[in-house]
């Protein structure tokens, strides 16, 4: 294989990994606080369509990404109100959020179908980002770098800062955290809002960077894969990076095989690969953990009531 | 200050009333949302929620749309009771249709009364087999059945595409991606002469009634509810959690597969790429709307069928996109989850919250 192909494969992997990494980072923080939000796919779709719409309206990509994060937070707040304030079932509410996001995004996005916008360009000047070899390091848009930096920042936040410690305490033992005097519900709501912002951003990465257009169900289940990635990573941000790249590799293999016109495997089977790989990877990680109780936050998915 | 005070026992009255309240709130919120989006809100709501009920011509359509929802949601409601979250019913529904079609293609040019039952049994087996994958992984290695069953839905859609574009493509179909049309022995008979209401409708209602008896009157139903409500107590009583996971996933998978077989052998009469109609996801809403009770599911399915049919009507009359019905359905679930708080809590105005909590 020539260097050019290797470079382009590496680049495709990193780019494909980016939205999944963003969304799963958000969900990791949410789950660390003891909340399971299954609505990632729905929040991503709302972010994708609102981001695209804002960019169409203003011509600004920055406005698009900001709108996407706002849309993610707004939808996440529906979830927070239902599960945290009214202590509704988190699984059911998360599912409702996904169904809602699929519908709403399709409804809002109707006028945008078929339109295009200028996509997110590489961050650095062309001398570096178009360089035949150096582009493997310098040829990405800001969010590819941003997602990796955010992974490090999240790891640092959770392990080495006081608010991070409190967040984890809330996820491990909500009643103890409450007894010490921490506002459990408010902390969880903040985590859910962060998860929404990240999911929205991840969605907009689809509609403004990967394929600068809007189509119904654009994210094609990637939000669910992000959820799986959190389990795969055993709730550790560093391992999310590994998982996201692994997923990026599977997606890249699918693209490459299609591009080279592989006839030994029908395109439909190639399209199954990301989902099958997710099941296999989840199984492998669970096999390794079998016996031990796993590393999920102790209060994950359980409603908190003060009385 | 409003404040929530837990009830000692969930209020049965509120539990029964909250779906009605949720419907009312959804109508109001839907009216506001559609108006804000520039549609004729009143017309849209009238078309989605009322028109199908007022026009007898639409009633058969309601029953046809409700049948698969009843079957799938009945299965899901049993699993949800045990905290087994099969959210991949859409995939099991598709597998059911694939297995039934396989049986139909294998019995091509044969005739007889045994063919249709064979297709339906094959469909149920296909759905159960697809659900057995998350069941096995959950029981053996504690892999989340939520994620596995959902991932397999995406896999099943691709499998369907592969079959109708490849090996199962109708040789006389002008290269369209679809299978042969099923023969008369392979198609569900209509129960009312000249209407489209097929045998699947009474079957679905019968299945829900059987499931209701099973859940409320049998040891199995008791064990499922106990595993869901008090896993520890269930263990002490000797009910195996693993057996419950297997049973609930296989039952819900089989019912979803059965629904897929009925839909393939009924309204579709062949397998096409447009087969997946989101019934598997809508059934989740139906299950909650029906209070996870098979009889409630019948009512919930009819209600959601109204939004399906009404959504189609609103497309032509109010210019609403197809997705509007989906938004409407999701709002219904949101409101239901929200008003359910009234069953579990009393709303008190003012008063010392912490004084009582500390006592």
A82 contacts in B (CB within 8 Å)? 334, 337-338
A33-71 burial, b at 16+ Cβ within 10 Å, e below that, comes to bbbbbbbbbbbbbbbbbbbbbbbeeeeebeebbbbbbbb
**Mean predicted confidence (pLDDT) in A77-105:** 93
More confident residue, B286 or B358: B286
- Whether A96 sits inside 8 A of B137 (CB atoms) is no
Size of interface A-B (CB pairs under 8 A): 138
Residue B2: pLDDT band by 50, 70, 90 thresholds?
Answer: low
What pLDDT sits at residue B1?
Answer: 52
A307 contacts in B (CB within 8 Å)? 5-6, 356-357
Alpha-carbon torsion, ordered A177, A178, A183, A187, to 10 deg: 40
More confident residue, A10 or B352: A10
DSSP A125-187: -HHHHT-TTTHHHH---HHHHHHHHHHHHHHHHHHHSHHHHHHHHHHH-HHHHHHHT--HHHH
Chain B segment 334-353 residues within 8 A of A by beta carbon are: 334, 337-338, 340-341, 344
Of B5, B85, B141, the CB nearest to A287: B141
Distances (CA, A) of A52 to A20, A24, A77, B150: 18, 21, 21, 27
Strand ranges inside B94-251, DSSP E: none
Does the pLDDT at position B143 exceed 60? yes
The three-state (H, E, C) secondary structure of B226-289, written as one string: HHHHCHHHHHHCCCCHHHHHHHHHHHHHHHHHHHHHHHHHHHHCCCCCCCCCCHHHHHHHHHHH
- Whether B337 sits inside 8 A of A93 (CB atoms) is yes
Of B150, B321, B330, the CB nearest to A99: B330
Query: Any idea where the domains of chain B sit in the sequence?
Result: 65-297
Strand ranges inside chain B, DSSP E: 2-6, 345-349
Percent with pLDDT over 90 in chain A = 63
Does the pLDDT at position B324 exceed 90? no
Under a CB-based contact definition with an 8 Å cutoff, are residues B265 and B187 in contact? yes
Does the pLDDT at position B357 exceed 50? no
Kindly report the nearest CA distance between residue B83 and chain A, in angstroms.
Answer: 10
Does the pLDDT at position A225 exceed 70? yes
- Neighbouring C-beta atoms of residue A72, cutoff 10 Å: 35
CA distance B356 to B262: 55
What pLDDT sits at residue B350?
Answer: 64
Q: Does B323 touch chain A (CB under 8 A)?
A: yes
User: In terms of CA atoms, which chain A residue is nearest residue B338?
Assistant: A82
DSSP code at position A209? I
**Mean predicted confidence (pLDDT) in B322-351:** 83
B143 contacts in A (CB within 8 Å)? 279, 282-283, 286
Under a CB-based contact definition with an 8 Å cutoff, are residues B6 and B335 in contact? no
Out of A67-71, B195-199, B237-241, the most confident range is: A67-71
Does the pLDDT at position A293 exceed 80? no
Under a CB-based contact definition with an 8 Å cutoff, are residues B233 and B121 in contact? no
ipTM of the complex: 0.90
Q: Report the CATH architecture of A3-289.
A: Orthogonal Bundle (1.10)
- Whether B321 sits inside 8 A of A110 (CB atoms) is yes
Does the pLDDT at position B193 exceed 90? no
User: In terms of CA atoms, which chain A residue is nearest residue B4?
Assistant: A86
Query: Any idea where the domains of chain A sit in the sequence?
Result: 3-289
Kindly report the nearest CA distance between residue B138 and chain A, in angstroms.
Answer: 9
Residue A290: pLDDT band by 50, 70, 90 thresholds?
Answer: low
Element (H, E) at A272: helix A267-289
Query: If we measure between CA atoms, which residue out of B310, B340, B63 comes closest to residue A93?
Result: B340
CA distance B281 to B297: 14
CA distance B253 to B128: 4
pLDDT digits (tens, 9 = 90+) for B259-305: 999 999 998 999 999 999 889 999 999 999 998 999 999 999 999 99
Chain B segment 10-39 residues within 8 A of A by beta carbon are: 37
Under a CB-based contact definition with an 8 Å cutoff, are residues B110 and B185 in contact? yes
What pLDDT sits at residue B335?
Answer: 94
Encoded tokens for A82 = 């239902």
């Amino acid at each position: 294989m020539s260097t050019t192909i290797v470079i382009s494969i590496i680049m495709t992997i990193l780019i494909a990994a980016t939205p999944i990494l963003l969304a799963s980072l958000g969900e990791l923080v949410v789950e660390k606080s003891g909340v399971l939000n299954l609505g990632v796919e729905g929040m991503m779709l709302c972010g994708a369509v609102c981001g695209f719409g804002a960019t169409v309206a203003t011509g600004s990509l920055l406005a698009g990404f900001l709108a996407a994060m706002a849309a993610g937070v707004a939808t996440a707040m529906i979830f927070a109100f239902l599960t945290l304030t009214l202590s509704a079932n988190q699984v059911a509410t998360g599912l409702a959020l996904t169904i809602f996001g699929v519908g709403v995004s399709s409804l809002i996005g109707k006028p945008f179908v078929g339109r295009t916008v200028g996509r997110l360009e590489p961050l650095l000047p062309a001398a570096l980002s178009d360089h035949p070899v150096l582009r493997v390091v310098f040829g990405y848009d800001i969010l590819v770098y941003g997602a990796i930096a955010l992974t490090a920042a999240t790891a640092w936040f959770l392990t080495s800062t006081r608010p991070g410690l409190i967040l984890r305490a809330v996820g491990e033992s909500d009643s103890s955290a409450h007894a010490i005097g921490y506002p459990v519900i408010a902390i969880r709501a903040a985590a859910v809002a962060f998860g929404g912002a990240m999911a929205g951003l991840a969605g907009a990465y689809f509609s403004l960077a990967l394929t600068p257009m809007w189509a119904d169900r654009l994210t094609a289940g990637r939000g669910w894969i992000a959820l799986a990635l959190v389990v795969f990573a055993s709730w550790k941000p560093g391992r999310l990076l590994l998982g996201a790249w692994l997923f990026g590799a599977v997606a890249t293999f699918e693209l490459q095989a299609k591009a080279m016109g592989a006839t030994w495997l029908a395109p439909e089977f190639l399209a199954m690969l990301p989902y099958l790989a997710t099941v296999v990877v989840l199984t492998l990680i669970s096999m390794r953990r079998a016996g031990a109780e796993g590393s999920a936050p102790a209060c994950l998915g359980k409603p908190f009531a003060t009385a | 200050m409003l404040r929530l005070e837990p009830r000692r026992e969930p209020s049965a009255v509120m539990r029964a009333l909250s779906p009605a309240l949720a419907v009312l709130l959804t109508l109001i919120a839907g009216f506001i949302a559609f108006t804000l989006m520039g549609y004729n809100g009143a017309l849209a709501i009238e078309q989605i929620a009322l028109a199908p009920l007022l026009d007898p011509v639409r009633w058969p359509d309601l029953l046809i749309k409700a049948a698969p929802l009843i079957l799938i949601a009945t299965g899901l409601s049993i699993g949800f009771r045990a905290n087994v979250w099969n959210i991949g019913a859409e995939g099991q529904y598709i597998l059911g249709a694939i297995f039934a079609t396989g049986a139909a293609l294998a019995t091509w040019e044969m005739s007889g009364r045994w063919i249709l039952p064979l297709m339906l049994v094959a469909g149920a087996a296909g759905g159960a087999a697809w659900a057995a994958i998350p069941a096995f992984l959950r029981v053996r290695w504690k892999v989340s059945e939520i994620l596995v069953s959902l991932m397999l839905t995406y896999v099943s859609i691709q499998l369907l595409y592969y079959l109708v574009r490849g090996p199962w493509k109708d040789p006389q179909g002008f290269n369209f991606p679809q299978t042969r049309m099923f023969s008369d022995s392979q198609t569900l008979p209509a129960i009312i002469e000249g209407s489209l209401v097929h045998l699947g409708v009474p079957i679905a209602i019968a299945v829900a009634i059987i499931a209701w008896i099973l859940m409320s009157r049998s040891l199995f139903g008791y064990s499922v509810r106990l595993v869901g409500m008090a896993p520890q107590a269930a263990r002490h009583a000797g009910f195996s959690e693993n057996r419950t996971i297997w049973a609930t996933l296989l039952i819900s998978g089989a019912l979803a597969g059965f629904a897929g077989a009925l839909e393939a052998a009924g309204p579709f009469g062949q397998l096409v790429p447009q087969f997946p109609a989101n019934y598997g996801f809508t059934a989740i809403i139906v299950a909650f709307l029906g209070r996870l009770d098979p009889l409630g599911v019948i009512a919930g399915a009819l209600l959601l069928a109204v939004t399906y049919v009404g959504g189609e009507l609103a497309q032509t009359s109010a210019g609403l996109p197809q997705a509007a019905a989906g938004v409407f359905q999701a709002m219904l679930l949101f409101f239901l989850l929200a008003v359910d708080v009234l069953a579990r809590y009393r709303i008190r105005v003012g008063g010392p919250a912490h004084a009582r909590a500390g006592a």
